[in-house]
Amino acid sequence: MWGSAYRDGGWMFTAEDGRPLHPDRVTKVASRLLRKLGLEASLHSLRHFWAAALISSGADIAAVSKAMGHASISITSDIYGSLFEKASADMAARASALIPRRSAGSGSLASS
């Protein structure tokens, strides 16, 4: 509708003409919407939740780091390292469960 007057700067939250909204405005609107939904959350807590969900699902740290806009993987690792360790342990346990095991006295393969 704005045609050539539209300013496409690649921003997520914009005014109708594409100009970026001031971060305080976005925060206020989001806070109001979250309260209306009965959620005790903020944009920042939702950002952490999203990252934690990605990590818990086994997403690669480099992909999460890029998605979060972090300057380096080490930043992501510093913030969410314990989640990556838990996700790695969970993935290892799931992979281990796929390997048939010998039962203690039978010499045959059995699932554990």
Residue 2: give the domain boundaries: 1-40
Q: What is the CA radius of gyration of the chain?
A: 22
Is residue 90 located within the same domain as residue 49? yes
Say yes or no: 31 and 59 in one domain: no
Closest among 88, 64, 87 to 74, alpha carbons compared: 64
CA–CA distance, 8 with 91 (Å, rounded to integer): 41
Do 11 and 47 have their domain in common?
Answer: no
The pTM score is 0.58
User: Would 27 be classed as within a structural domain?
Assistant: yes
What digits encode the pLDDT tens for the residues 14-57?
Answer: 999 999 999 999 999 999 999 999 988 898 888 888 888 888 78
> Do the domain assignments include residue 111?
no
The number of domains in the chain is 2
